[in-house]
Structure 1
Amino acid sequence: MTSFNRRAVLKAGALASLAATTAGFSRITMAATDAASQPASGASAGASSSGQGVTRTLARYIVGARYEDLPENVRREGTRTLLNWIGVAVGGSHHETVDRAVSALTPFSGPAQAGLLGRHERFDILNAAFINGVSSHIFDFDDTHLKTIIHPAGPVTSALLALSEYHPVSGTDFLNALVLGVETECRIGNAVYPNHYDVGWHITGTAGVFGAAAAAGKVLGLNEQEMVWALGLAASQPVGLRESFGSMNKSFNPGRAASNGLFAAILASKGYTSSDAMIEAKRGWANTISTKQDYNEITSGLGQRYEAALNTYKPFACGIVIHPAIDAAIQLRNEYGLKADQIASIDLKVHPLVIELTGKKTPRIGLEGKFSVYHSVAVAIIEGAAGERQYSDRAVQDPAVIALRDRVSATIDPKIKPEQVDMTITMKDGRQYHKFIEHAVGSLEVPMSNQQLEAKFLDLVAGILPDSQARELINACWNVEKLANAAQIARLGVARA
């Protein structure tokens, strides 16, 4: 298979209709997620809308949920989540951020229990979970639950994979735990989003710790009371502030959520107690860190509707709110053969969140470029892509990119939805080209195909893993349910001597 060609994916006419990729940033999600957010009939008993019994109801569900009960579409999305996460974690494994984390923690790491994806080092499972979580998020290329903008796999799969090397688990149990972890963090995220996010919490870290605890606790075989304690201990460890965006600290958050959740489950497995109502109590997690608490989002329809089925995957290595603008830029570039030196101006009409989240006009380093709609549009026009290479220090500091970036303007338009953009490119000779993006590639309605996910995977791991090993790893992810020991995936994902 050839490397992932984002230009080809976005060529004019290649996609008849694109999907709403930034719906998760909206205050009310669009039609694709509306149905999934409706309470299902037969909602789990034991928890009221006021929140009484929420933590225990959720714990009871996690403990009793069986792989056999997962619908086929949920299992399928679980394997896609796994494949995408492995690819981005291996791809990010040699970023300076990961190098620094490995250097800092090596003297303090315990027994060599688990591998670091894409590398040869082995750490104790808590530190391995942390570093793999950092690695998987550093490119901002990981999965996204659009309703909450949680990146679900980072906290959950980082904890699970490290644990699988210490505590053997079958492929079916691994996949079941992964889905339950994603379900847990996204439901809890639904209960407090957007208020919790708006005040500055990084919800992938704050909700992700619950997913990691639930997944690890499931593999460890916690009983109901122990799972209540695991969730309670997770609630005591919220991590991540939005102020960290654009720095190494952002990827710290899912990494720490993974290790914190795993830590909580391990303690609970030995009888380390917590309050039985740490999520919903007056001075518990939800009331302490959010002005919104919709507990029905946590308990309604457990085992009937699945947030884990709503996961999406990025074709571009940056915040989803920029994706419509990148989509428009690449389509116009390809359709009209646009060259940067011919362009007088690029004018965008955008939703307010685009400016709020990605309004950096003069990014200095690659990580800051991920939060600049101006850089993203300029580099997309010049290079026809917006992958990890387009968010390197090299790309952000490229004089040609800077020159075009300075000719990009973004204006808030109240009629533009978060998943839309209205772009007009004016050429120096007076010609104008216009593109309105209703929905961008990579969302629920028009998701990345399995073939596109594989191509993205191979592009990310190129130069880190040999092609034969990469393809063996892809096969193991697709067939995780058939594995006698899920740790095989970890062994295939590390660098070989």
Structure 2
Amino acid sequence: MKVTEKISQFIVNASLDEMPVGAMKTAKQAMMDCLGCTLLGAVQPIGRIISEFVIDADARPVASIVGHGKKTAPYLAALANGIMAHAEDYDDVSLGIYGHPSPPLLPAILALGEQYRVSGRRVIEAYITGFEVGSCLGRAINPAHYKRGWHGTATLGTMEAVAASAKLLELDASQTRMALGIAASEVCGIRQNFGTMTKPFHSGNAAKSGVVAAQLAQRGFTADLNIIEAPLGFGHLFQGDEPPDWGKVAHLGKTFEITTEGIAFKPYPSCAETHADIEAILDLMRKHNFPHEDVEGIECVFSDTMDSVMLHLEPKTGMEGKFSAEYCTARALLDKNVGLHDFTDERVNQYEVKKVMQKIRRRIDPGMAMLASTLNIKLKGGCQFSQHVEVPKGWPKNPLSEEELVAKYRDCSRLVLSSSDIDRSVELLKNLEELADITELMNILVKLAASRTH
């Protein structure tokens, strides 16, 4: 199969008018969720660092740095906004790329979209196009790709971003193949960096790489014509020992992953693999009403893939806590909730939570489904309870409601935007397909957070 050619033809020919019913709704939900997370990331230390970095570049100011009151070059805006979108690990998830689809994808689209004052319909069209390209490539090379240590948000996210950028720039099929080839040589991102600032860098770098590759291809920059399927190309390099399943690409444009599998939206600001344990302990406490002091021991049972994601058994920082089954379970047990304020260095190192974490053990069950977990708990006095969570809240089979998604956006954006700006941005995002161009939306999102105006 001529994979690169097929993908480039899909990108060129993709039309929102021919995409399935439901694709637009999911795309708009994902964009609202991602922008909420970006606004939240803007007021975090990582947001300050990356915004200062790109502002110091003093590039031509055409694309907004969300929450920072400044504009810069599109590739730098994509970098900054992509990092901020993933800063708190509160952003969406897709099993197609084994990662977070929107933080590498949407910042690239908005950076170029603002420069060229594109319509809301074109933004949605580019989003779905990029999502489908990343997903089909992910299905072809995962789970081996992920298990070898690659971070799909970074690797497949780059291919999402370049596909969407090529679509927005209206590259022809030949230019699009060049863009894919350039982007493939920009791909990077390893999972050992989970729990550090470099994990969010993955998504920003992917967004930036997609913009750069498309803009270079537009100017005539060249790359290998068959970069995806070539013997030394993207698929064989990043899949591993077995050949990629190119049959997954054959369905591109015939079925749409965004409607068949959907996108998950997080109710908790931690790694998605921690959510089943959080829900299991909360369910057990609601059912049996025991105090945390009565807990003698907890066993968390999940797959080897889940184990490899939750790297930090004894976290020492707030970021590490997001990738710790032990911390998230202990925090849920102590507080009967897990929220944004729980992922600070101080909270992770609290004496009470450390004491509870010592009672928690992992057991790996290779047959357990991805994202599922069983939690076994033993109380003082001998009582034992067990709770299994197969599909955590927020996944398409157990979704957040529209009201919950809007509430999450409002909560994330309140540290940056006024109430009236939040209301207006919600209205614009809900009716994105009606916007003649996205300038008004970006003029709201760029505003400097109130906490930094003095």
> If the length of structure 2 is used for normalisation, what is the TM-score?
0.94
One-letter code aligned to 2:146? Y
Aligned to 1:402: 354
One-letter code aligned to 2:395? S
Aligned to 1:290: 239
Any idea what SS the aligned residue of 1:451 has?
Answer: helix
**Residue 352 in 1 paired to residue 301 in 2?**
no
**Residue 304 in 1 paired to residue 241 in 2?**
no
Task: Decide whether aligned partners of structure 1 residues 171 and 105 sit closer, same or farther in structure 2, where only a CA change above 3 A counts.
Answer: closer
Residues in 1 aligned to 2:264 and 2:84: alpha-carbon distance in whole angstroms: 19
Contact 1:338 1:381 in 2 (8 A): no
Any idea what SS the aligned residue of 2:388 has?
Answer: strand
Contact 1:148 1:194 in 2 (8 A): no
> Of 28, 35, 40, which aligns to 1:91?
40
**Residue 441 in 1 paired to residue 393 in 2?**
yes
CA RMSD of aligned residues (A): 1.7
**Residue 220 in 1 paired to residue 169 in 2?**
yes
Residues in 2 aligned to 1:118 and 1:428: alpha-carbon distance in whole angstroms: 49
Any idea what SS the aligned residue of 2:316 has?
Answer: coil
Any idea what SS the aligned residue of 1:311 has?
Answer: coil
Q: 1:342, CA displacement in angstroms?
A: 3.0
**Residue 416 in 1 paired to residue 368 in 2?**
yes
**Residue 58 in 1 paired to residue 7 in 2?**
yes
> Of 244, 261, 265, which aligns to 1:313?
265
Any idea what SS the aligned residue of 2:22 has?
Answer: helix
Q: 1:454, CA displacement in angstroms?
A: 0.7
Residues in 1 aligned to 2:102 and 2:164: alpha-carbon distance in whole angstroms: 11
Contact 2:69 2:446 in 1 (8 A): yes
Residues in 2 aligned to 1:335 and 1:395: alpha-carbon distance in whole angstroms: 27
Q: 1:415, CA displacement in angstroms?
A: 4.9
Task: Decide whether aligned partners of structure 1 residues 109 and 149 sit closer, same or farther in structure 2, where only a CA change above 3 A counts.
Answer: farther
**Residue 166 in 1 paired to residue 115 in 2?**
yes
Contact 1:360 1:372 in 2 (8 A): yes
Contact 1:205 1:257 in 2 (8 A): yes
Task: Decide whether aligned partners of structure 1 residues 409 and 417 sit closer, same or farther in structure 2, where only a CA change above 3 A counts.
Answer: same
Aligned to 1:391: 343
Aligned to 1:472: 424
Q: How many residues align?
A: 445
**Residue 176 in 1 paired to residue 128 in 2?**
no
Q: 1:338, CA displacement in angstroms?
A: 3.7
Contact 2:298 2:376 in 1 (8 A): yes
One-letter code aligned to 1:297? K
One-letter code aligned to 2:72? F
Residues in 1 aligned to 2:398 and 2:192: alpha-carbon distance in whole angstroms: 32
> Of 273, 278, 286, which aligns to 1:334?
286
Contact 2:391 2:398 in 1 (8 A): no
Higher relative contact order (CA 8 A, sep 6+): 1
Aligned to 1:21: none
> If the length of structure 1 is used for normalisation, what is the TM-score?
0.86
Contact 1:321 1:353 in 2 (8 A): no
Aligned to 1:380: 332
Residues in 2 aligned to 1:249 and 1:346: alpha-carbon distance in whole angstroms: 31
Any idea what SS the aligned residue of 1:312 has?
Answer: coil
Q: 1:166, CA displacement in angstroms?
A: 1.0
Aligned to 2:319: 367
One-letter code aligned to 2:197? M
Residues in 2 aligned to 1:247 and 1:125: alpha-carbon distance in whole angstroms: 25
Q: 1:350, CA displacement in angstroms?
A: 2.2
Residues in 1 aligned to 2:275 and 2:13: alpha-carbon distance in whole angstroms: 39
Residues in 2 aligned to 1:59 and 1:178: alpha-carbon distance in whole angstroms: 15
Residues in 2 aligned to 1:107 and 1:419: alpha-carbon distance in whole angstroms: 41
> Of 414, 434, 438, which aligns to 1:482?
434
One-letter code aligned to 1:385? N
Aligned to 1:260: 209
Task: Decide whether aligned partners of structure 1 residues 323 and 173 sit closer, same or farther in structure 2, where only a CA change above 3 A counts.
Answer: same
Task: Decide whether aligned partners of structure 1 residues 106 and 494 sit closer, same or farther in structure 2, where only a CA change above 3 A counts.
Answer: closer
Contact 2:38 2:86 in 1 (8 A): yes
> Of 98, 103, 128, which aligns to 2:52?
103
Residues in 2 aligned to 1:119 and 1:450: alpha-carbon distance in whole angstroms: 28
Residues in 2 aligned to 1:155 and 1:414: alpha-carbon distance in whole angstroms: 30
Contact 1:150 1:189 in 2 (8 A): no
Identity %: 28
Residues in 2 aligned to 1:336 and 1:462: alpha-carbon distance in whole angstroms: 36
Contact 2:51 2:65 in 1 (8 A): no
Aligned to 1:9: none
Aligned to 2:85: 136
Residues in 2 aligned to 1:352 and 1:184: alpha-carbon distance in whole angstroms: 28
**Residue 204 in 1 paired to residue 156 in 2?**
no
Q: Unmatched 5+ residue regions in structure 1?
A: 1-47
Residues in 2 aligned to 1:109 and 1:431: alpha-carbon distance in whole angstroms: 64
Mean Cα deviation higher: 132-141 or 441-450? 441-450
Contact 1:161 1:487 in 2 (8 A): no
Contact 1:354 1:373 in 2 (8 A): no
Contact 2:96 2:136 in 1 (8 A): no
What are the superposed Cα offsets for residues 189-219 of structure 1, whole Å, 9 maximum, x if unpaired? 1111111111111111111111111111111
What are the superposed Cα offsets for residues 140-169 of structure 1, whole Å, 9 maximum, x if unpaired? 111111243221111110101111221111
Contact 2:97 2:134 in 1 (8 A): no
Aligned to 1:276: 225
Any idea what SS the aligned residue of 1:473 has?
Answer: helix
Residues in 2 aligned to 1:423 and 1:202: alpha-carbon distance in whole angstroms: 27
Aligned to 2:383: 431
